Amino acid sequence: MRRPVVGIIGNSHLINDQYPTHAGGTMNSEAVAEVSDCLPLLIPSDPRYVRVSELLEVCDGILLTGGRPNVHPEEYGEPETPAHGAFDRNRDALALPLVRACVERGQPILGICRGFQEMNVAMGGTLDPEIRDLPGRMNHRMPPDGTLEEKFALRHVVRFIEGGVFHRLMGAIEVMTNTLHGQGIRTAGARVVIDGHAPDGTPEAIYVREAPGFALGVQWHPEWRAASDPVSRPLFRAFGAAVHAFAAERHAPDNARRSAETPRSMVG
């Protein structure tokens, strides 16, 4: 029996500052394959090459990864400033409508770092361009120097709403996480519930209220050592369980017959 497919939204990258590629972190594929028990499929983050409707057909779940470029502020009605950093408008054009489509049809989606922010913007929320400049906030950015172990080291607590989605998923009301981001949620989008915060008040965990399927996002990077980390493992296992359930439902024989009888124009 084949594993369900998780589409991993990658990032644009230049090899040797010259050769354009679509890239995805190995640790994302490892988490999907080894912890979620799904087939990782790297997706070019460019709507010139892939359509949302195609991704919904091919993939059983979607992982929105982190990335250095930020969501362009025009996507939430604000002008661009130097504080907003670099952008990837092609990824914006693909990821934001993909979030909305997955939420609408109950297709499992997990957002990480930039993906967390994409989920909020897709649902109508806004972002702060540089949270370390806000009064009372800490520096959540990746340490500029050091090994990967040092960059991804656990650096602060995240506290969840008691009895909420993440409290139940993690079995704990407080967990330790890494932190490698510059931007953060300013205002939550429609139906976006902020379910966890850092000690300085920065939103760290969200879900989409009344979504018919798995629709969670985290500001930290759970893909780092996902198989062994006590916070990352339950998140990727829950995501994988949701993807397996979605795939089993839509690939059941009765559903397959119904799909075959449905006009192409009405699918997706």
pLDDT, one tens digit per residue, over 113-165 is 999 999 999 999 999 998 998 899 998 888 888 888 888 889 999 999 999 99
- Return d(Cα 191, Cα 188) in angstroms, integer: 8
Nearest CA among 25, 11, 261 for reference residue 118:
11
Which sequence positions are flagged as catalytic? 113, 221, 223
Domains of the chain in start order, with CATH, are: 5-266 (3.40.50.880)
Contacts with 33 (C-beta within 8 Å, 6 or more apart), sequence order: 39, 40
- E strands, the chain, in order: 5-9, 11-15, 19-23, 39-43, 61-64, 109-112, 126-128, 156-160, 174-177, 184-187, 192-197, 203-208, 215-218
Quick one: DSSP state of residue 61? E
| Residues 13-69: tens digit of each pLDDT | 888 988 988 889 999 999 999 999 999 999 999 999 999 999 999 999 999 999 888
End-to-end Cα, the chain, rounded Å:
25
- Write down the pTM of the prediction: 0.91
